[in-house]
Amino acid sequence: MDGLKEELDGLMRYIQRVREEIAAIDRSADGDDHFESMGEQLEAVVAATSAATNSIMAAMESNEKLLDVLREKITDPEQIALLDQITSNGNDVFEACSFQDITGQRVNKVVKSVTYVEARVSALVDIWGKDQIAMIEVTGDQEQSADEKLLNGPQLEGQGLSQDDIDKLFD
């Protein structure tokens, strides 16, 4: 009977530790939902990369049109050779920008994985009970330095300080 009690006690302590670990995964010590944040941050990276790539490509296309206008007006072979080199450099930029599509695909795979893990953790939280998990104190594993506590950027769209807020600090 004593052996059974010891085994049950050990099992209950193990279950409690599992609950604490699930609570730590579901809700960090600072209260943030890190899974949701990770997915949003990665999606923001894809969107920002795509926007930057589109801006670069639009500027390069505009340059190519300007080069065509110059080609019509220039007859000097040396200058035409320079225009051709500029066009070649522009093609290199277009080629380099193709990384964005591949990067976006890879990041989207990571987002899907994070979403899958989030769904599994949410299912475990539902099984244990959100109220029970919420009562478990979550402690951070690592203490942040004073500088790390100040770092919160870059922020997602609509979050954090606006440029107007920052400008007011300097007025």
What is the tens place of the pLDDT at every residue in 104-124?
888 888 888 877 877 787 787
Average pLDDT, integer, range 161-167: 73
Rounded CA separation 144/11 (Å): 34
Phi, psi of 56 (to 5 degrees): -60, -45
Rounded CA separation 37/132 (Å): 23
pLDDT given at position 73: 95
> Is the per-residue pLDDT at 30 higher than 70?
no
Helical segments of 98-156, H only: 99-128, 130-135, 146-150
Phi, psi of 63 (to 5 degrees): -60, -40
**C-beta atoms surrounding 85 within 10 Å:** 10
Rounded CA separation 99/56 (Å): 13
> Is the per-residue pLDDT at 10 higher than 80?
no
Give yes or no for a contact between 35 and 114, defined as CB atoms under 8 angstroms apart. Answer: yes
Pick from 12-16, 94-98, 142-146 the range whose average pLDDT is largest.
94-98
pLDDT given at position 152: 62
pLDDT given at position 100: 80
Confidence of residue 55 (pLDDT cuts 50, 70, 90): very high
pLDDT > 90: percent of the chain: 25
Distances in Å between the Cα of 113 and the Cα atoms of 37, 41, 98 are 14, 14, 24
Confidence of residue 103 (pLDDT cuts 50, 70, 90): confident
> Is the per-residue pLDDT at 46 higher than 80?
yes
Average pLDDT, integer, range 152-159: 65
Confidence of residue 2 (pLDDT cuts 50, 70, 90): confident
Residue with the larger pLDDT of the pair 98 and 160 = 98
> Residue 109, exposed/middle/buried by CB under 10 A (0-12, 13-18, 19+)?
exposed
Mean pLDDT of the chain: 78
